[in-house]
């Protein structure tokens, strides 16, 4: 990435944060060379499962859409460039076009978060997909809370739209998790 593209990428990332805030991923897997102990010392939520370490998202290092442990972030974070950044680097899109896609997607994320809250699940610091699954796995009592039926329907629709956009415009299959 040349300096001009890197500067544009930095502006885009600090207006986005979706690969760190639990929107796109639930965990970041540690790689050889990463130090789980150091990340714990830095305040990250690090867990181990089947002998592998991972860092949970939303990431505790993300503050006002900036990584506060940028120089010590894990290798997956260093290597990850979402599809918007890859297209920008390839010259396939402009910074303004990427910014518009990010703003629109963040608007949709906001809508999904609001619908989850309307559905009765308060913000609890867990990743978006996890919160969505938790709410949707609780059946609606149609007699006692009929107003929840359209809320759930709208949430399901908007979450589906969001998944399509994240897969099409942001996630990079080999880099997930």
- Measured from the CB atom, is 101 or 115 closer to ligand SF4? 101
Helix H or strand E encompassing 175? none
- Binding residues for ligand SF4, how many (CB under 6 A)? 21
Strand-pairing partners, residue 49, are 52
Is residue 135 near ligand SF4 by the rule CB under 6 A? no
Using CB under 6 A, pick the residue from 27, 116, 152, 170 that binds ligand SF4: 170
Buried residues in 124-159 as b, exposed as e (16+ CB within 10 A) = eebbbbebbeebbeeebeeeeeeebeebbeebeebb
Is the N-terminal amide bond of 46 cis, ω within 30° of 0?
Answer: no
Beta strands in the chain (DSSP E): 27-29, 46-49, 52-56, 62-63, 66-67
Identity of the residue, 37 or 149, whose beta carbon is nearer to ligand SF4 in the bound complex: 37
| 67 contributes a contact to ligand SF4 by CB under 6 A | yes
| Member of 5, 29, 45, 62 binding ligand SF4 (CB under 6 A) | 62
Segment interacting with ligand SF4 (CB under 6 A) among 17-25, 29-37, 120-128, 154-162: 17-25
Question: CA dihedral in degrees (136, 142, 145, 148; nearest 10)?
Answer: 40
Nearer to ligand SF4, 46 or 61 (CB): 61
Residue choice 8, 27, 46, 59 for contact with ligand SF4 (CB under 6 A): 59
27, 30, 85, 128: residue in contact with ligand SF4 (rule CB under 6 A)? 85
């Amino acid at each position: 990435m040349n300096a001009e593209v890197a500067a544009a990428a930095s502006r885009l990332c600090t207006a986005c944060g979706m690969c760190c805030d639990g929107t796109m991923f639930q965990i970041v897997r540690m790689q050889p060379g990463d130090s789980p102990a150091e990340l714990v010392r830095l305040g990250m939520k690090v867990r181990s499962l089947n002998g592998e370490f991972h860092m949970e998202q939303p990431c505790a290092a993300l503050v006002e859409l900036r990584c506060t442990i940028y120089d010590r972030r894990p290798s997956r974070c260093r290597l990850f460039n979402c599809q918007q950044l890859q297209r920008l680097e390839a010259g396939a899109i402009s910074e303004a076009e990427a910014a518009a896609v990010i703003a629109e997607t963040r608007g949709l994320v906001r809508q999904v978060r609001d619908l989850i809250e309307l559905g009765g699940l308060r913000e609890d610091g867990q990743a978006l997909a996890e919160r969505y699954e938790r709410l949707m796995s609780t059946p609606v009592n149609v007699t006692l809370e009929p107003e929840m039926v359209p809320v759930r329907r709208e949430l399901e629709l908007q979450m589906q739209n969001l998944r399509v956009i994240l897969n099409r415009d942001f996630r990079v299959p080999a880099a997930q998790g």
